[in-house]
Amino acid sequence: MPKPLVAILCPKEFRFTDHAATIETPIVADAADVKTLWLDYHSPFPAEVFDATAIILWHGPLVDAGIIARLKNCRAIIRNGVGFDTVDTTAAAQAGIPVCNVPDYGTEEVADHAIALSLALYRQLFPLDAEAKRLGWKIATQHKMRRLSTQTFGLVGLGRIGTATALRAKALGFRVVFYDPYVPSGVQKAVGVARVNTLDELLRVADLVSIHCPSTTETRGMIGEKEIARMKPGSFLVNTARGDIVKKAPVFAALRAGHLAGAGLDVVEAEPLRTAEEAATPNLICTCHAAFCSPEGMVEMRSTSARIARAAVLGEAVWNRVN
């Protein structure tokens, strides 16, 4: 009899080059065949997907209730990465299909990236670099350069990445405070940071706000015009989580108006940046949804997804289930 199939779905827009799935295949080969399928983001799924015993998703595509209803043999849908908002988790649960993610593969990388963006803003690295390369030496942005020990680093979310970021910020001398209604009482004592009970309070006390929560119906658009207005004049905003948590129009408007002194965005709403006007926003550092990137992190992520897929094929318990 033919082996079960583990299908790896990859949008063509994502330049994935390991056609042979050299990380996944050795892990899964004794239990299933592995095949990588390239799709246009909104194209119909090939028929073989609906026969797969496990599906691994790269950056989408959308797996909605209609797709899930057609999965004949699927025992797990695994999202290569932390976010799983491209999968209808409710429909999958109703169909008895676990949806799993890989929440810990890029913890160090994303935390490091959040801190790197924060330091670049506080120490004005990019304006100073541009000034030096114009052969200037005026240090025009010196009024934005602050002593870190006088600053409050505010985190929205204290999960794995939020905690790793908090510890790094503490080590740099920041006063660290967080808002997360889902973290148990007492975690702040274990980590050694301060806790506030509302987002509004965090926005009012933080000199820098760093986003570390998933994209959900509760968090999408959570940082909008009213929230930006509540932030301290001259404060900074960093987002290495999901773009749709922060509405970009009010952020860009606040940067142009000078209410925000700077923003470091690895992710943006409706990414990537769409216009030259957006790209020319003053005091904006924007990276390419790349905070998770490192060769080590990618191997860890793909290996974890493959192990979950193998367990599903063998009828064993899966982990990192989100539904």
168 catalytically annotated? no
Contacts of 183 (CB under 8 A, 6+ apart): 158, 159, 195
The residue from 242, 269, 302, 310 that is catalytic is 242
The residue from 108, 131, 201, 271 that is catalytic is 271
- Cβ atoms of 158 and 177 within 8 Å: the answer is no
The residue from 289, 300, 307, 321 that is catalytic is 289
| Kind of pairing between the strands at 260-265 and 152-156 | unpaired
Q: Where are the alpha helices (DSSP H) in the chain?
A: 24-28, 65-69, 89-94, 107-122, 125-133, 160-171, 187-191, 199-205, 225-230, 248-257, 276-279, 295-313
289 catalytically annotated? yes
271 catalytically annotated? yes
Structure tokens at 164: 């790793």
Q: Which residue has the tokens 């599906």?
A: 55
Using the CB atoms, write b or e for 183-199: b if 16+ within 10 Å: beeeebeebebebbeeb
User: 302 exposed, middle or buried (CB, 10 Å; 0-12, 13-18, 19+)?
Assistant: buried
Residues found in the chain: 323
Residues involved in catalysis: 242, 271, 289
